Amino acid sequence: MAVREAGAGRGVSHVHAAHDHPADPAAGARWSDHAERVLREAGLRTGGGRSAVIGVFAAEDCVLAAQDIVDRLRASGGPGANLATVYRTLDTLRDHDLVHRLDPGDGTARYERAQPGGEHHHHVLFADGTIEPFHDDALEQAIEALAGRLGVDLVGHDIVLHAAPRSA
Amino acid sequence: MAVREAGAGRGVSHVHAAHDHPADPAAGARWSDHAERVLREAGLRTGGGRSAVIGVFAAEDCVLAAQDIVDRLRASGGPGANLATVYRTLDTLRDHDLVHRLDPGDGTARYERAQPGGEHHHHVLFADGTIEPFHDDALEQAIEALAGRLGVDLVGHDIVLHAAPRSA
DNA sequence: TTGTCTGCAAATTCTTTGCAACGTT
DNA sequence: AACGTTGCAAAGAATTTGCAGACAA
């Protein structure tokens, strides 16, 4: 997974790669607990397929296509989930703001888990297909200010930067 | 699918709706001339279908889905274009940076003509499906600065703001 | 004439849905 | 028992592609 630290960001406090740790187990477990609680409180039941999908998101902190999720489950040997179930689960998770959907423009949607606190980040899409997340407070502030100037009531925003492959 | 251009454009300092005029005929003609020249110089031939598609973009300065283009052509009574031709034309135009593709995340790509000078704008997607373009210099500067901080070589960027329906 | 462009239909790819069986509460 | 959940297969929707004929240069 080509999620690495943005080198030039070092020392610039408010810029940082959003996932500095390839897969922070603690964050994953926290998210998965949160997700299961939210769904339970919504009156939904615990099923094998959905749990498996949640498990994938808990373990893999990166953008995943629906088919990727099926593949990881199959590869892990454990209980799998049908592609239809995966899509249904993604819908459910999205309804409860537990995952975000990302449209890189290649015709295949990607999903990634949402942070409980409303924290969010954006993505740099490199020419070679690599996707790297980032967060930048200055950018967020610019968006806020812009919304005010436009006079619209913002409920969210998606930003995708397109970049040439890293020379480094 | 009801994606229409919102007409409202207000002038807030350096923020402005990118298409204050529902369809600026001069800009449309300019673009269409430019497009045809670029394609001719690329060694491509002039065909009825492609010309018709270019004509639609020249006349309609807003985001269009492939099917929309076919519909407009059919409605206008003049020469039409097959959906396959439209897709092929869109590919060609995109290859030559004559149109941009926009993925609102609803599974259907939208296209809009690109300005010859590299001018570009972004979009506000309202909850009711309305899409409104805007341009904001401060935001562009924020993106530039951000790219530097991230240490990436930016070749483009897409920004979609999601907003509640306008109360006004 | 030569190579491109078009329309039509078939094929692909991603995503959604119907339905009967299964599992949770 | 009641009702949400799942798998399988079929259905849908958007986009792409194969081909033969039409057309521009």
* pLDDT for the residue B23: 59
Instruction: Summarize pLDDT for B6-62 with one digit per residue, the tens.
Output: 333 333 334 444 444 455 778 889 999 999 999 999 999 998 999 999 999 999 878
Mean pLDDT of chain B: 82
- The alpha carbon dihedral of B145, B148, B153, B159 has a sign of negative
Task: Kindly state whether residues B66 and B146 are assigned to the same domain.
Answer: no
Element (H, E) at B59: helix B48-59
Average of per-residue pLDDT across B70-97: 93
Is A129 domain-assigned?
yes
Q: What is the DSSP string of A92-113?
A: HHHHTTSEEEE--SSS--EEEE
pLDDT band at B79 (very low <50, low <70, confident <90, very high): confident
In this structure, is residue A40 part of a structural domain? Answer: yes
Interface test mutation site (partner A, options B12, B103, B110, B150, max chain A beta carbons within 10 A): B150
**Are B102 and B166 part of one and the same domain?**
no
pLDDT tens digits along A75-91: 988 888 999 999 999 99
Torsion of the alpha carbons at A80, A82, A85 and A91, rounded to the nearest 10: 90
Which of A103, A123, A126 to mutate against chain B (most B CBs within 10 Å)?
Answer: A103
Same-domain status, A93 and A140: no
Does the CB of B127 have a partner CB in chain A at under 8 Å?
A: yes
Together in a domain, A98 and A29: yes
Q: Angle, to 10 degrees, between the axis of helix A66-75 and the axis of helix A83-95?
A: 120
Assess whether A28 and A78 both reside in one domain. yes
Q: Which of B134, B145, B159 is opposite residue A138, by nearest beta carbon?
A: B145
> For residue A10, what pLDDT is reported?
29
For residue B4, give the DSSP letter. Answer: -
Together in a domain, B127 and B85: no
Flag whether A78 is in a domain.
Answer: yes
- Note whether B109 and B148 are same-domain residues: no
**Which range marks the domain in which residue A96 is found?**
21-115
Query: Which parts of chain A have pLDDT scores under 70?
Result: 1-23, 167-168
The confidence score (pLDDT) of residue B7 equals 31
- Among the partner residues B15, B156, B162, nearest to A156 by beta-carbon distance: B162
- Strand D: which positions are within 7 A of a protein CB? 3-10, 13-18, 23-25
Q: Are residues A52 and A111 in the same domain?
A: yes
